[in-house]
């Protein structure tokens, strides 16, 4: 296997790291600002997918205007480009990078001719061959370590975890090797690897298949983490992660794979360290990411009709946080609500609360409110599963109380 990696790619030039252990990029990336229906658009109609608890959300107003004119959340159906589902956008970004750079390869369980559990790698084995799209045994610790070794020899591997919960079996490789080897080798090795896969709650997959592992990995030095929420940012973040010389963990959500959106025909690459302004507002800053972005936007419809003007930010970069965008919003609204699917204890919301308090406490007119999933294993029963995660009605109530 070592011979295989040596044939496919040679060791590339080393990069200088900063004080945080991250590699400094040679060029700045191009910066761009459980229902039965699973194929939806990323505009207001997405509520059809997320409204699994009709009895709890029946008081929500669903036909109100949740976005302002010219906002980034506006429908793109009239714009040029092509429509893709989120998993297709991930595949398109992956395929473009494999065409552009022969050192890019894919490995994981069933990623080859089967096309991956969620078809992100469908067709790639036929196009690029079994050496660049490598089916592996069910051994996450082994093939994640193999991917790290491949990155050390000059390749740019994408390691797919069939489910994010399975990557706990590879935690030693990700922590002690993936995140640290650039530093512990004195810069002699870089680890340009992407670790990606599905996670999250919402399809009655049981506790072990409904993991949100953002909080598990956020404390590892040298790792960057991003979470996609739309087909547009899924493709842009995938391409940016592959090109990065840092190890990147890309979090995907099982309920968003069939989200549809029109994306540009021309090539684009997003920044791995920038948040997205989803809806500008004046009264409260709502920080969220992944699936909760759509719960927030559903709640925003009701809030607008109640006279509130929420500013919604998809933080997107889970490590490091985009404190520039977040800080400017806090200085404007003076109120912060964090909505996440991660666990409350030690979750992304806890880290984000600490960062905002440390940097922008003087601008706050009220304590930060954080809505998180309950600290319980995710139940299999759909009704119980729904109770463990934040619902739009809770977001509406939290904003009303925060802005009193």
Q: Average the pLDDT over 324-353 and give the result.
A: 96
Which run of H or E residues covers position 158?
Answer: strand 156-160
When pLDDT is cut at 50, 70 and 90, the band that residue 23 belongs to is low
Kindly report, as residue ranges, where domains of CATH 3.40.50.970 are found in the chain: 82-264
Catalytic residue among 92, 109, 209, 273: 209
Q: What is the pLDDT of residues 159-187, one digit of tens each?
A: 999 988 899 999 999 999 999 999 999 99
Q: What is the pLDDT of residue 164?
A: 87
pTM (two decimals): 0.81
Cα 102–chain centre separation: 26
Q: What is the pLDDT of residue 80?
A: 85
Using the predicted structure, report yes or no on whether residue 37 has a pLDDT greater than 90: no
Which run of H or E residues covers position 301?
Answer: helix 292-305
Which comes out higher in pLDDT, residue 106 or 46?
106
Q: Average the pLDDT over 291-297 and give the result.
A: 97
Q: What is the pLDDT of residues 114-137, one digit of tens each?
A: 999 899 999 999 999 999 999 999
Domain 82-264 has CATH 3.30.300.30: no
Q: What is the pLDDT of residue 324?
A: 97
Has 140 been annotated as catalytic?
Answer: yes
Cα–Cα separations (whole angstroms), residue 309 to 57, 274, 285, 396: 20, 23, 9, 12
Q: Average the pLDDT over 212-230 and give the result.
A: 94
Q: Exposed, middle or buried: residue 195 (CB in 10 Å: 0-12, 13-18, 19+)?
A: buried
Using the predicted structure, report yes or no on whether residue 9 has a pLDDT greater than 50: no
Q: What is the pLDDT of residue 263?
A: 96
Using the predicted structure, report yes or no on whether residue 155 has a pLDDT greater than 50: yes
Q: What is the pLDDT of residue 404?
A: 85
pLDDT, mean over the chain: 84
Which comes out higher in pLDDT, residue 385 or 60?
385
Q: Percent of the chain having pLDDT more than 90?
A: 72
CATH architecture of 276-403: 3-Layer(aba) Sandwich (3.40)
Catalytic residue among 92, 109, 140, 160: 140
Q: Average the pLDDT over 89-105 and give the result.
A: 97
Residue 362: helix, strand or coil by DSSP? helix
247-258 b/e with 16+ CB inside 10 Å = b?
bbbbbbbbbbbb
Q: What is the pLDDT of residue 62?
A: 35
Residue 84 sits at φ, ψ, to 5 deg, of: -140, 150
Q: What is the pLDDT of residues 196-220, one digit of tens each?
A: 999 999 788 888 888 888 999 999 9
Q: Average the pLDDT over 277-303 and give the result.
A: 97
Which residue shows structure tokens 């997205």?
Answer: 276
Q: How far apart are CA 296 and CA 319, in angstroms?
A: 21
Kindly report, as residue ranges, where domains of CATH 3.40.50.920 are found in the chain: 276-403
Cα 293–chain centre separation: 11
Q: What is the pLDDT of residue 301?
A: 96
Q: Exposed, middle or buried: residue 291 (CB in 10 Å: 0-12, 13-18, 19+)?
A: buried
Q: What is the pLDDT of residue 206?
A: 86
Q: What is the pLDDT of residue 203?
A: 80
Q: Residues with Cβ < 8 Å from 383, sequence gap 6 or more?
A: none
């Amino acid at each position: 296997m070592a011979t295989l990696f040596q044939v496919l790619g040679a060791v590339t030039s080393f990069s200088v790291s900063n004080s945080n252990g991250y590699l400094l990029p040679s060029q700045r990336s191009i910066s761009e600002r459980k229902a039965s229906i699973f194929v939806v658009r990323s505009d207001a109609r997405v509520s059809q997918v997320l409204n699994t608890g009709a009895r709890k959300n029946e008081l929500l107003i669903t036909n109100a205007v949740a976005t302002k004119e010219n906002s980034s959340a506006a429908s793109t159906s009239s714009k040029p480009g092509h429509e893709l589902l989120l998993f297709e956008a991930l595949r398109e970004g992956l395929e473009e990078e494999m065409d552009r750079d022969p050192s890019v390869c894919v490995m994981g369980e069933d990623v080859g001719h089967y096309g991956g559990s969620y078809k992100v790698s469908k067709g790639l084995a036929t196009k690029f061959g079994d050496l660049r799209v490598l089916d592996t045994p069910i051994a996450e610790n082994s093939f994640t370590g193999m991917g790290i070794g491949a990155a050390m020899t000059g390749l740019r591997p994408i390691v797919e975890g069939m489910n994010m919960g399975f990557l706990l079996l590879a935690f030693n490789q990700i922590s002690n090797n993936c995140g640290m080897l650039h530093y512990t080798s004195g810069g002699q090795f870089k680890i340009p690897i992407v670790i990606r896969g599905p996670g999250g709650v919402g399809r009655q997959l049981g506790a072990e298949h409904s993991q949100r592992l953002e909080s598990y990995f956020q404390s590892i030095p040298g790792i960057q983490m991003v979470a996609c929420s739309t087909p547009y940012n899924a493709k842009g973040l995938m391409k940016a992660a592959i090109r990065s010389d840092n190890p990147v963990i890309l979090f995907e959500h099982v309920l968003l794979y069939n989200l549809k959106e029109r994306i540009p025909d021309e090539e684009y690459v997003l920044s791995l360290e920038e948040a997205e302004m989803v809806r500008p507002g004046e009264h409260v800053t709502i920080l969220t990411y992944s699936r909760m972005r759509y719960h927030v936007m559903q709640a925003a419809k009701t809030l607008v009709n109640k006279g509130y003007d929420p500013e919604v930010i998809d933080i997107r970069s889970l490590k490091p946080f985009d404190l520039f965008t977040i800080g400017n919003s806090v200085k404007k609204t003076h109120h912060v609500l964090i909505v996440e699917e991660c666990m409350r204890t030690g979750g992304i919301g806890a880290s984000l609360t600490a960062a905002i308090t440390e940097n922008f406490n003087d601008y706050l007119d009220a304590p930060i409110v954080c809505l998180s999933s309950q600290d319980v294993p995710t139940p299999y029963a759909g009704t119980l599963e729904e109770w463990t995660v934040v619902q739009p009605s809770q977001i509406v109530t939290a904003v009303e109380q925060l802005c009193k």
